[in-house]
Amino acid sequence: MVFLGPSTVLIVFFYFVPVILTFLIAFTGMDRTLRWEFVGIRNFARLFGIGARDPLVPKVLINTLVYTAGALPVTIIGGLLISILSMRMHPRAGVFFRALFFVPRALPPVVWGFLWAWSFEGTRYGLFNAIRTALGLPVIHWLIKYPMVIVILANGFLGISLAMLVFSSAIATIPRDYVRAAEIDGATEWQVVKYVIIPLLKWPILTMTAWHLMSFLNSYVYIMLITGGGPYYATEVWSLYAYHAAFNRYRYGYGASLITLLVVVNLLLLLGVLRAFGVKRMLARGKIET
């Protein structure tokens, strides 16, 4: 208990205390004056269109759903595919391949965001427009025409590195005899992956799905760096909207209500993911025959 004391104090001070303060501020009209003016559920009523309605909430909600639904498959499927392919290669080639895809995780967020913003720059100085110009093709304003696709790919590819690392480690623990037995029975490469490897990766897939689902719902840094939520709120997701409400418009009470609702949604989605994967059944002890 003595050794856990310092860590417990840090967790309480830097996690639980801010969560409680955010919850309390959500019921106030706090602005740049920092006055604790209690307004009840007025901030939440505005979110649900009761009374003074916020016209941007429906668009922000749709953006969040599209962004999460797009980035999550890129991360999970991409990480699973890369890990399976790299584990079937020569060991040294597989290590190099995985290290190559892990590079984005080692880059600072500002550098990763800058690379994507520069690559899709809407002038002839952007990477892809420079290539198009060299080929005699017209310039495309990528960040205006395809802003949501760009932020989905940027965040999805970043998440691949962690998913790939977890899946590769899990595949390495699968007994080789399982794969050999399937191959002796005449199973193809695809059948080995479908009926042997993927079923044995249920726990890692559950973990990465839950982890990245929460991550994409709460992340906004790379969107802010690449598009700033624009153009015209085209990539403004819920967490970024809360950030802008609190720290750009100084509506701390309203921003706190947005975050409080997001925390509740996170908890509900986490329970839904655990239920969908049948965690209780996976944790249940097998019956011992006597």
Evaluate whether residue 285 is within a structural domain: no
pLDDT score recorded for residue 74: 94
What φ, ψ does residue 194 adopt, rounded to 5°?
Answer: -70, -40
For residue 178, count other CB atoms closer than 10 A to its CB. Answer: 14
Evaluate whether residue 3 is within a structural domain: no
Unique residue bearing structure tokens 């002796």: 184
pLDDT score recorded for residue 8: 86
Evaluate whether residue 283 is within a structural domain: no
Evaluate whether residue 112 is within a structural domain: yes
Parent domain of 196: 35-278
Which CATH number belongs to the domain containing residue 49 in this structure?
1.10.3720.10
Query: CA 105, 19, 209: angle at the middle one, nearest 5?
Result: 40
pLDDT score recorded for residue 266: 87
Three-state DSSP state, 28: strand
Evaluate whether residue 46 is within a structural domain: yes
Evaluate whether residue 21 is within a structural domain: no
For residue 106, give both structure tokens: 């080692």
User: In this structure, what DSSP letter does residue 138 have?
Assistant: P
Q: Which residues of the chain have pLDDT under 70?
A: 1, 279-290
- The tens digit of pLDDT for each residue in 163-189 reads 998 998 888 888 888 888 888 888 888
CA distance 225 to 223: 5
Evaluate whether residue 158 is within a structural domain: yes
pLDDT score recorded for residue 84: 87
pLDDT score recorded for residue 284: 61
pLDDT score recorded for residue 285: 54
CA distance 82 to 163: 9
- The tens digit of pLDDT for each residue in 12-39 reads 888 888 889 999 999 999 988 888 889 9
pTM of the model: 0.87
Number of domains in the chain: 1
For residue 220, give both structure tokens: 């906004």
Evaluate whether residue 7 is within a structural domain: no
